[in-house]
Amino acid sequence: MKAHSLLHRSVLDASADAGHNALVEIRVDGDCFVYIYDFYLGMLDRLAQYDGIIIETTKSIFTRHAVWRIRSYFEHNLFLLPLFLRRSSRILDASLGAMTDGYVSTEESLFEVVSITRSIQENREKIRLPEMADIDAQVILGHLAYGVSRGQQTIKPIIDRDCRMGYLYPIISAIEANGRIRSSVVELLDEAESLGYVKARMLQSTYVCSSCEDAFLQFREVCPACLSSDIVTEEVVHHFRCAHVAPLSDFRQEIQGGHILECPKCNHELKHIGVDFDKPSSMHRCRSCNKDFQNYHVYARCTTCDHDQNVEHLIKRDVKEYDITDKALASLQRGLSAREPDQLGEVIPETMDWSLFIKALAFEADRPGASGQLVSIEIEDLKGLIKQIGSKNKNKLLTELIQVIKASQGARDMRNVQLPFLYFTLLDTSAKDAEDIAQRTVFLLNHLLKDNLSIKQALLTTELTPITKGGVTELERKKLGV
């Protein structure tokens, strides 16, 4: 009863509020929910402090917008919050169900809301979602975290007519819809698979527009010659005794009170199908150009870009579901360090693994008579850079940068990528020479970024340190973010 009256009162309060940005708090059993209308346009940050969100639904377009906004809002991990809809009438949107955690209708359901919220909170406690430099990586992990927090082992596609590919994957699709990532949903999921975070399982295939890759197409049968849809179909009749074959209408004779079938070749009446005649096939005729044919073409017009195409030219897409792997669970539970974003990436060729690099540096520092220098190059605004090129191309770019660095080094020299830093050694080189080499290398790297790849911001800053025991320790500390 308490819950009911609470809900009831707050609804009245909210209605009384003239503005669209009213926040009403509802406390149930020590949990504090925030209650908003689906046309809420206020700051989302304000919602993050609550245990869950209840949205009053008015129009499904508003509801969808509100849900999508919340589920794609990564600040304060808002997208992970339990989210419930209070529905006055039935909502005909399968995807809304998949993007939210339940519905509030009766007073009893508020207790269910609490129990769902508790269970999500419990799951969330096992997860430490890291902050990533790479937005794509952030999205992938966020998506996985969402699944895990909801106790799901599989990320399932939900059929959805407002999503470009016709299916959505709860979090990633919401973010894609908000235009916050460069890569497509499919590309991101493929990347997640290549990283071993998910294991894809083919569910079915779907066809998308060859021009804009949208799944919303209108199909129609057309004449293969002129593409008109004005087609009539007629059965073909074979008269056994004279071997005459023609469309049914050739045989039709109107008589008083009906019609008979009479062969135009031999003038015999066709009485019994199977005995006198049969219908071996049927033919289509285009009323626009008079072409006869048996196989019409099927054309698909894209409802998004208006491109009209033969269905044979549509792009076939696999719709998959993704099992979250143990590796992903382990990563989420461990809470990846913010300084370790390229754990997500593959190994860049010609570079050393970090621990090996450190060991080699320590070994070099110990070597009597050694006079090596360690150059560290920091890529400024790494986030911005990756946004420009897309996370998929990140490793390609790094590989090219490393090649430039390698060209300026000696045979024994080493390299390591520790984003946003690139480290490389200049062994047996004086500080003076190393300075020159480092400057030239940075010039070349900037040149590569700006002129060859036309990447807008191309700022690299360098630092030069002699390879000593102290220097190596310093480096390790820096990496750990101490």
Partner 1 sequence: MTLLEEIIGYWTHADWAKIGRVFWYFLIFELMRYVIVDYVVVAIHFLDRLVNRKRWDRAKEALHLVQPLVSILVPGKNEGKHLFKLTRSLAEQTYRNFELIVVDDGSTDDTRIIGRDLEARGLIDLFISNDVRGGKASGANIALRYAKGKYIVHFDADCSFDRDAIEKSLLPFYYDERIAAVGGNLEVRNSRESLATTLQAIEYLKVILVGRMVTSYIGIYRIISGAFGTFRTDVLKRLGGWDLGPGLDGDITVKIRKLGYRVHFQPTANGLTSVPNSFKKLSKQRLRWDKSIIRFRLRKHKDVFYPNANFRMLNMFSSFENIGYNVLLNISWFIYVVDILVNFGHLFIYILPANILLYTVANYLQFFAIMLIVRKPEEKHRLFFYLPAMVFYTGYYLRIVRLIAHTKELFFKESYKDPWNPLKSSLKAKALRI
Q: Among Zn ion, partner 1, none, what binds residue 247 when CB lies within 5 to 8 Å by partner kind? A: partner 1
Question: Residue 196 and residue 14: Cα distance in Å, rounded?
Answer: 46
| 460-466, strands of its sheet edge to edge | 415-418, 421-426, 373-379, 460-466
**CB of 230: closest distance to partner 1 in angstroms?**
18
Question: Residue 251 and residue 6: Cα distance in Å, rounded?
Answer: 78
**CB of 119: closest distance to Zn ion in angstroms?**
42
Query: What SS3 state is found at 309?
Result: strand
- Return the range that interacts with partner 1 (CB under 8 A); candidates 10-18, 42-50, 227-235, 288-296: 288-296
- Return the range that interacts with partner 1 (CB under 8 A); candidates 160-168, 277-285, 422-430, 468-476: 277-285
Among 268, 292, 294, 283, CA closest to 237? 283
Phi, psi for 220 (deg, rounded to 5)? -155, 155
240 binds partner 1 (CB under 8 A): yes
265 binds partner 1 (CB under 8 A): yes
**CB of 243: closest distance to partner 1 in angstroms?**
4
281 binds partner 1 (CB under 8 A): yes
- Return the range that interacts with partner 1 (CB under 8 A); candidates 116-124, 279-287, 384-392, 471-479: 279-287
88 binds partner 1 (CB under 8 A): no
295 binds partner 1 (CB under 8 A): yes
The site that binds Zn ion (CB under 5 A) totals a number of residues, namely: 22
- Return the range that interacts with Zn ion (CB under 5 A); candidates 116-124, 225-233, 400-408, 422-430: 225-233
Looking at residue 215, its amino acid is A
Beta bridge partners of 52: 33
Other C-beta atoms lying within 10 Å of the C-beta of residue 138: 22
| 24-28, strands of its sheet edge to edge | 24-28, 31-37, 52-56, 83-86, 102-104
CB 207, CB 262: distance < 8 Å: no
Site string for Zn ion, 296-335 (x = CB under 5 A): ------x-xx-x----------------------------
Cis-peptide, bond into residue 466, ω within 30° of zero:
no
Q: Which helix (H) or strand (E) holds 222?
A: strand 217-222
274 binds partner 1 (CB under 8 A): yes
Question: Residue 175 and residue 188: Cα distance in Å, rounded?
Answer: 11
- Among residues 214 and 350, whose Cβ is nearest to Zn ion? 214
Q: Could you identify the residue written with the tokens 């008589």? A: 255
Which positions lie near Zn ion, rule CB under 5 A?
209, 211-212, 214, 223, 225-226, 228, 239, 242, 244, 263, 265-266, 286, 288-289, 291, 302, 304-305, 307
Which positions lie near partner 1, rule CB under 8 A?
224, 236, 238, 240-247, 250, 264-266, 274-276, 278, 280-281, 283, 292-295, 312
